[in-house]
Chain A
Amino acid sequence: MCNQTVGLVQREIETQGISTVGVSIVREISEKVKPPRTYFLKYPFGHALGEPFNKKQQVTIFKECLKVLESAQKPGVIVDSPYRWRKHRFN
């Protein structure tokens, strides 16, 4: 449900003239709620930015979200993250 709430809040903020990007860990819900820009990761609940204290991972994911803000050209875009949970090594 958190992903639905993120999408709904995101839509309200975008409506006020602010460019938004939301992280999603449940793609199916983002497809239905349709936030303006989404960065999707196949990560477990409570770990949208990655593993605890893995700063390189968290910074990378945060920067990817910022990139979506810069690159998205049409409403409803969902960018799929290439970083697999506990498979990708962040160096």
Chain B
Amino acid sequence: MSTNFLNRIMVALYSNPWVKKRWSQNFNALETDMIPWTPLQKPLSQCKIALLTTGGVHLKNDKPFDMEDKNGDPTYRKIPSTAVQEDITITHKYYNHSDADKDINLVLPLDILRDVQQEGLVGESAEFFYSFMGHIDKHHIKTLVEQTAKDVAHQIKQEKVDIAVLVPA
């Protein structure tokens, strides 16, 4: 049986709410007591915003995420905040993204943010948004926490972003 076939079965299985619940109860997540905290500094309408996703989203002409390494890929992709659905694709074999392929807003709410900005609820967008492929395990978690996530955080700070909204797959 091919690995891809097995993977498809697993993805289908985890779409079941009961299986998802059982899995999450046993998931050995990184635990911590310290929680970082930055109070909101100004009204949302004046806040510069960045979006982030872990849905494996990237520009069609960018390098896809690595699907060969079973521990995942801790790298990230930059997506211009002006991007539209047609510019974008998803490389992530650990969830069923057939709906998100059709409507990218499910994992990266580009159009939704524009609507909310038109209403004046939130300020301008950062130049770039960021995407990870959330299936990250073992030694790649260290790379994520100590390198790539920090790198993204620094870039967002340099852009003078005030708020960030993060969306999982």
- A52 near B: Cβ within 8 Å? yes
Contact in complex: B31, A32 (CB < 8 Å): yes
Interface string of B150-165 (1 = CB under 8 A from A): 1011101100011111
Give the number of residues in A that approach B within 8 Å (Cβ atoms).
56
- B113 near A: Cβ within 8 Å? yes
Expressed in whole angstroms, the Cα–Cα distance for A60 and B168 within the complex equals 17
Contact in complex: A46, B100 (CB < 8 Å): yes
Q: A2-B169, A5-B136, A33-B32 are in contact. Are A19 and B41 (CB under 8 A)?
A: yes
Contact in complex: A55, B168 (CB < 8 Å): no
- B97 near A: Cβ within 8 Å? yes
B104–chain A nearest beta-carbon distance, Å: 9
Contact in complex: B40, A46 (CB < 8 Å): no
Give the number of residues in B that approach A within 8 Å (Cβ atoms).
69
Q: Which residue of A lies closest to B96 (CB)?
A: A46
- B9 near A: Cβ within 8 Å? no
Expressed in whole angstroms, the Cα–Cα distance for A29 and B54 within the complex equals 15
Q: Residues of B contacting A51 with CB < 8 Å?
A: 99, 106
Contact in complex: A29, B24 (CB < 8 Å): yes
B22–chain A nearest beta-carbon distance, Å: 10
Contact in complex: B115, A12 (CB < 8 Å): no
Q: Residues of B contacting A34 with CB < 8 Å?
A: 31-33, 35
Chain A contact residues, CB within 8 Å of chain B: 1-6, 8-29, 32-36, 42, 44-53, 55, 58-59, 62-63, 65-66, 69-70, 74-76
Q: Can you spell out 27 A-B residue pairs with CB atoms less than 8 angstroms apart?
A: A2-B54, A3-B168, A4-B29, A4-B136, A5-B168, A8-B145, A9-B54, A9-B166, A11-B36, A12-B145, A13-B166, A18-B156, A18-B157, A18-B162, A19-B39, A21-B163, A27-B24, A28-B27, A35-B166, A46-B95, A46-B97, A47-B99, A49-B107, A55-B111, A59-B116, A62-B165, A75-B37
In the A-B complex, the 5 residue pairs with the smallest Cβ-Cβ separation, listed nearest first, are A2-B134, A75-B35, A52-B103, A32-B29, A5-B134
